[in-house]
Structure 1
Amino acid sequence: MPRAKKSTDTWNYEASVEQVESIIAHLETGDLPLADIFEQFEKAVSELKKCDTFLQEKQQKAQLLIETLMPENAE
């Protein structure tokens, strides 16, 4: 397998959410210099985008599966 594919496969939704929660908790302490705040914020936004993409893809797959279960309307 190519490396890029392998690194994508190791991404985990739950771990990403935990990372964002950890960043938020760290930001809320108010102990970070301003430059670090922006860096951490950028990381959180990046992870949230990945989560959003993941959820949209899963929602589309679920919708397709539901549609295959629906009987055709015979009128």
Structure 2
Amino acid sequence: MPRAKKSADNWNYETCVTEVEAIITNLETGELPLADIFEQFEKAVTELKKCDAFLQAKQQQAQLLIETLVPDESE
């Protein structure tokens, strides 16, 4: 039975990090065929890019919130 693709609505940072950690553990065993190693590595990189984009967006959001707390010095 094929696995359902995860939609962007169901994406979760912590779940993604857990998946990447599992991939790394799997790669470190050295027991995967070469083709699977590249497939898993590609998946990990893709997931890490999603994590990075998420963190950058949240950092920008936090920065904007902080800026609204700082009084305007021109007043």
The TM-score normalised by the length of structure 1 is 0.89
The alignment of Structure 1 onto Structure 2 pairs a total of residues equal to: 70
Show the counterpart of 2:32: 32
5+ residue gaps, structure 2, are 1-5
Q: Deviation per CA, 1:39-63: give whole Å up to 9, x if none.
A: 0000000000000000000000000
Residues 7-66 of structure 1 show CA distances to partners (whole Å, capped at 9, x for unaligned) of 211000000000000000000000001100000000000000000000000000000000
| Unmatched runs of 5 consecutive residues or more in structure 1 | 1-5
Runs of 4 or more above 6 Å deviation? none
CA distance in 1 between counterparts of 2:12 and 2:50 reads: 10
Cα distance between partner residues in 1 of 2:30 and 2:74: 62
Residue 9 of structure 1 corresponds to 9
Higher helix share: 1
Cα distance, 1:74 vs structure 2: 4.0
